[in-house]
Chains A and B, each alone.
Chain A
């Protein structure tokens, strides 16, 4: 059986600077996979390349269909929701408008209303702030908003770029619990990029370690966690 998401020989560069030197990885439907690596390893670029935000070479297959070279809008329409680095909040719009935009490509109006209540169920704080200008939300709330906005697409695959970045440990835990719940209840597959390797390995089923634009190690989360080199360099004990 072909993998749900299959990436082969992914190259990308910013101008003359090459960032990805042939990344290969694959993930199955319904699983959570994490890409680990230090700053500048190419994790964010990998996610951006998957949804057509940076120029890339290589092959990306999603649910049996080639999506490399497709415009971002068209990748999104295939059910891939990206929670970007920096959260991508529409700061001048209200919380609820941000959420409605997440469902922009959907035609099932009634289901969208139901989904709005569903994400408010996950993040009650957002419901309290539904009329508030999104730029005035706290960092944690904006991260919740970014995740919720992605959920409003009813995605098949979520790409999460550093969901823990800049958040207090308690909020990170809350967020990761919700991500786990979403994955289990709604069978949303997730590809998570994280610097917080310990948290990511706790969440994920599989992990890939990226160093300077290449995959150097892969395995189940448990295998990666017990790898000595990873433990020393990324888990720090």
Chain B
């Protein structure tokens, strides 16, 4: 029982990271109906930025905040410079751009920082502070995820800018008609998604270690999480993230073994697409005419 509880809590910790990245995917999906395959590599790149700052002697939390800002700006710039020109291109063209972005970010990082695996520090102490079932980093990562989710919820629910972003994602034409600059809302969405990804990257790096390919598996889990919860539902994606985290850990530890963990994500993706393509919380809207 102890071991089980331990696995569940550890699953929640990584699940929070998947949830964050899934949320980033969903944000872009809601606005563009596209899945940004480069989301993970953007997060990885931001994490290297944090690593450089910390390595240069900056304390962890200032480096953390600066990285969030850096990731936000990176997201905005990528949208403005790379995505904007292909905005109206066919879907496949945009997918190719996403994949190119993934490959470019991956190799540029490898070129700058080499592919040698690096240790990334955790801001939380090594000795357990949240009881014996969960590591400090695991508990801390859950806390950080919760703070990010809460801030996002408050932003989208209660600020005029958050409302405008939701409006622009739902109905760009009507949004323009009330004076919302839809193009900038998209860029802002990319910025926010990248910033969330950056946090996820910094939280996962102490677990998986820092290397240019570190987000590959995480993105796959996040993608599974987003699909399980419903790719158009932010709350669903978050739930999906935690669910995938726990499933992966528990199944990995007791049923299929650690080597096959990643298969859990693939099975979930295929299962959801076959059985219930809209996900558990996929949007069902009743419209009257």
Least Cβ–Cβ distance between A191 and chain B, in angstroms: 15
Q: Is A42 an interface residue (CB 8 A)?
A: no
Which B residues are CB-close (under 8 A) to A133? 285
For A87, give the chain B residue with the smallest CB separation. B174
Q: Total A-B pairs in contact (CB under 8 Å)?
A: 79
Q: Is A104 an interface residue (CB 8 A)?
A: yes
The answer on a CB contact under 8 Å between A101 and B287 is no
Q: Is A105 an interface residue (CB 8 A)?
A: yes
Contact pick for A101, options B163, B181, B285, CB 8 Å = B163
In the bound complex, CA of A53 to CA of B175 (Å): 12
Contact digits for B158-191, partner A, Cβ 8 Å, 1 yes 0 no = 0010011011001101111111111000000000
The answer on a CB contact under 8 Å between A90 and B170 is yes
Least Cβ–Cβ distance between B284 and chain A, in angstroms: 11
The answer on a CB contact under 8 Å between A135 and B163 is no
Interface residues in A100-149 (C-beta closer than 8 Å to B):
100-102, 104-105, 133, 135-139, 149
The answer on a CB contact under 8 Å between A135 and B286 is yes
Which B residues are CB-close (under 8 A) to A149? 178
Contact pick for B179, options A73, A88, A89, A138, CB 8 Å = A73
Least Cβ–Cβ distance between B170 and chain A, in angstroms: 5
Q: Is B132 an interface residue (CB 8 A)?
A: no
Q: Is A49 an interface residue (CB 8 A)?
A: no
Contact pick for A73, options B171, B180, B285, CB 8 Å = B180
In the bound complex, CA of A153 to CA of B3 (Å): 60
In the bound complex, CA of A232 to CA of B173 (Å): 37
The answer on a CB contact under 8 Å between B179 and A105 is yes
The answer on a CB contact under 8 Å between B164 and A84 is no
Given contact pairs A91-B285, A101-B164, A139-B288, A84 touches B173 in the complex (Cβ within 8 A):
yes
Contact digits for B265-283, partner A, Cβ 8 Å, 1 yes 0 no = 0000000000000000001
The answer on a CB contact under 8 Å between A88 and B167 is no
The answer on a CB contact under 8 Å between B177 and A104 is no
Question: Which of the four size classes fits the interface of chain A?
Answer: 20 to 34
For A76, give the chain B residue with the smallest CB separation. B179
For A74, give the chain B residue with the smallest CB separation. B179
Contact digits for A64-97, partner B, Cβ 8 Å, 1 yes 0 no = 0000000111001100011010001111110001
In the bound complex, CA of A6 to CA of B77 (Å): 40
Q: Is A157 an interface residue (CB 8 A)?
A: no
Which B residues are CB-close (under 8 A) to A153? 178-179
In the bound complex, CA of A135 to CA of B285 (Å): 8
The answer on a CB contact under 8 Å between B287 and A97 is no
Given contact pairs A100-B160, A104-B164, A88 touches B285 in the complex (Cβ within 8 A):
no
In the bound complex, CA of A139 to CA of B287 (Å): 10
Q: Is B289 an interface residue (CB 8 A)?
A: yes
Given contact pairs A88-B174, A100-B163, A136 touches B287 in the complex (Cβ within 8 A):
yes
For B232, give the chain A residue with the smallest CB separation. A92
In the bound complex, CA of A102 to CA of B163 (Å): 11
In the bound complex, CA of A164 to CA of B166 (Å): 29
Contacts A90-B167, A90-B170, A135-B285 supplied; 5 other A-B pairs, CB < 8 Å = A76-B177, A92-B166, A93-B170, A97-B163, A101-B178
Q: Which residues of B contact A (CB under 8 A)?
A: 160, 163-164, 166-167, 170-171, 173-182, 283, 285-289
Q: Which residues of A contact B (CB under 8 A)?
A: 51, 53, 71-73, 76-77, 81-82, 84, 88-93, 97, 100-102, 104-105, 133, 135-139, 149, 153, 166
